[in-house]
Amino acid sequence: MRLPTLVACLSATVSLYAVACRSDNNNTPTDGQGSGSGSGNFVKIQQVQDDAMAPGTAVNLHDVVVTAIDNFGAKVGDIWVEEKGGGKRSGVHVFKASLSDVAMLTVGDEIDLKGAIKSEFALTGSNADPSGRTVTELEPASGGAITITKLGMSTTITPDKVDALAIAQMYDPSMSATGGGTAFSNAWEDWEGVLIELDNVAAAGAAKAFGSTTPTPADNYSFGITGVAKAEGSLTDITMSSIARGTCFGQMTGVVDYFYDYLVLPRSGTDFNTTGTACPQPEQAAGTDGTKCTDGVDNDGNGFSDCADLGCEAGSGAWLGATCGTGDAMCGCSVNLASTTSVHSVDTTYATTSSPAILRDVYITAIPTNVTSPSSYWVADSLTAAANGGVLVFSKPPTGATVGQKISTLQGIAGPFGNGSLKTLEVSTATASTPAGTGVIVPLVGIATDTLSGATTGAPYNGSVVTLSKAKVTAAANTYGEVELTDGNGKKIMMDDEAFKYYGGTSAAPTPPALNACLVVTGVMEANTNDLIRTINPRGATDIVTATGCP
């Protein structure tokens, strides 16, 4: 619980001890503007955020204000502090405090902070951020501790207003692989660690879970917003059912962070509202406002302009119902909407790049039943599964959708998703026509486990429904709900719960199969890009059948 606030003019000292969660091996304290001796040689946060200060430099801060405290979700203990004057580069993330110490702090506390070092954090190895960007943080030196002295005073920081649309229009799609260009990155970098207010920003879609932890922690959800950025629920719940593509936030306040994307972290429900009416409108095709599709401007701040934006990709599934001429002659789109685009063509064409795509006459092959309101589903070209014939759709299933139904038009951004050498293909921020008719899905059979599990050989089967025969359980379910399966050749694949929760001991979620059990498993193939493994995801209890004859 939170401890009573100290009265004015008194002070208390709190020690924050380092928690071994992540570190920068190059962060060795150096002689510099901040001394770790506790002598009171203070620096400004703007100096910490300046590239001229090397990582590993010792840092002491004087009379800074606590702007955010992480008391939400599975990972807690971080704080953000800011200079009283605010402005660009005036805030920083302090990583990481103990729960008992954080409980002594309140947003608005004025503090002195000593014994920290500057860190520039970025993932390395197979999960490395391809943009080369880092996030500036303060952390204790190895074996040391940060001390925080509460000065007994309180200050309310007025968030700096930031124009997310203006930043979005600096984004260069041709440089998306490396972060969207220097101007875009620098514009967001100026506000890293700072408490900001965004007015009239729109959601790109519903909140979507990230990470591999099962069940998904409350703080592992995010959604795209105007600004080619994301709102992330690290500090408070953002999973309101009312959020969908186009939801207009009249105001959103939060501290800015970075992890693969620039993030805005609201601190409570009062930091945002969904009653805005002046958000940038989607780019629209001819017949509504065709000029937005030919002006070379990203009018809605989502990172795509003109005919690279789905708002200009007209058709029966268009977001605003606008229509273009045959072959998109009126808006100049590169995708010919008069023709049929298949999942197979998407799988083979967009494996290394992202682009708008229209899918015609596809069938729903799997809808997750492990969550109340699924934010994704799978479709295929045919009721009969095939290689390069299925794809994951990151969007809520159409109302009333069931497995086996046909979608006449599905429209979205198709492209690769993943880390390192293990990639999968998905269609994001999609809109679909109302499904009709119901058929029976016929899975692929006889595909060897070593083929399905391979980083390269397994890629064509991502999104396809397959049956894995006579697979032996060689490792019980781990904390993520994954069960290791092995075939007669010793090749392994993981059974995962992305579509159906097969553990829990109830009829809806039966107990996981026992060690050494022999199974026939049917499911949709996917990839866990955090662990770099291919997975098979049963769609229900009937997809897991006890068998005999396993080696």
Average of pLDDT values for 172-199? 91
Of 198-212, 225-239, 388-402, 424-438, the range with the lowest mean pLDDT is 424-438
Whole-number Å distance between alpha carbons of 259 and 279 = 25
**pLDDT at residue number 38:** 41
Choose among 439, 437, 416, 435: nearest CA to 317.
Answer: 435
* 431/327 Cα distance (integer angstroms): 20
pLDDT for 530: 66
d(CA 417, CA 321): 29
Summarised one tens digit per residue, pLDDT across range 334-352 is 444 444 578 887 777 766 6
Helix runs in 323-410, H state only? 343-349
Asked whether residue 508 carries a pLDDT value surpassing 80, the answer given is no
Domain end (from 242, 273, 304): 273
- pLDDT tens string 229-260: 999 999 999 988 778 878 999 999 999 999 98
- The CA distance from 248 to 53, in Å, is 39
Q: Determine the pLDDT at residue 332.
A: 40
Could you tell me which residue, 5 or 154, shows the higher pLDDT? 154
Domains identified in the chain, total number: 4
In this predicted structure, the answer to whether residue 185 has a pLDDT above a threshold of 90 is yes
**Residue 541 near residue 534 (C-beta atoms within 8 A):** no
User: What local confidence, expressed as pLDDT, does residue 354 receive?
Assistant: 67
> What is the span of the domain harbouring residue 360?
343-432
Strands 377-380 and 390-394: antiparallel
One domain, residues 146 and 19: yes
- Alpha-carbon span 116 to 130, nearest angstrom: 28
Burial of 146 (0-12, 13-18, 19+ CB in 10 A): buried
Q: Does residue 461 share a domain with residue 393?
A: no
Identify the band that residue 287 occupies on the pLDDT scale cut at 50, 70 and 90.
very low
pLDDT digits (tens, 9 = 90+) for 101-138: 778 999 999 999 999 999 999 876 666 788 889 999 99
Is 301 among the domain residues?
A: no
Among candidates 500, 506, 479, 504, which has minimal Cα distance to 544?
Answer: 500
The answer as to whether 533 is a domain residue is yes
Identify the residue whose tokens are 């001429």.
Answer: 325
Residue 40 reports pLDDT greater than 60: no
Question: Is the model's pLDDT at 298 over the cut of 50?
Answer: yes
231 and 105 part of one domain: no
For residues 452-469, give the mean pLDDT.
Answer: 90
User: Residue 184 is part of a domain; what is its CATH number?
Assistant: 2.40.50
Q: Which residue has the higher pLDDT, 373 or 314?
A: 373
Q: What is the mean pLDDT of the chain?
A: 80
The answer to whether the CB of 303 falls within 8 A of the CB of 173 is yes
Between CA 129 and CA 420 the distance in angstroms is 10
Same domain, 146 and 165: no
**Same domain flag for 22 and 145:** yes
Is 218 domain-assigned?
A: yes
Q: 66-75, pLDDT tens digit by residue? A: 999 999 988 8
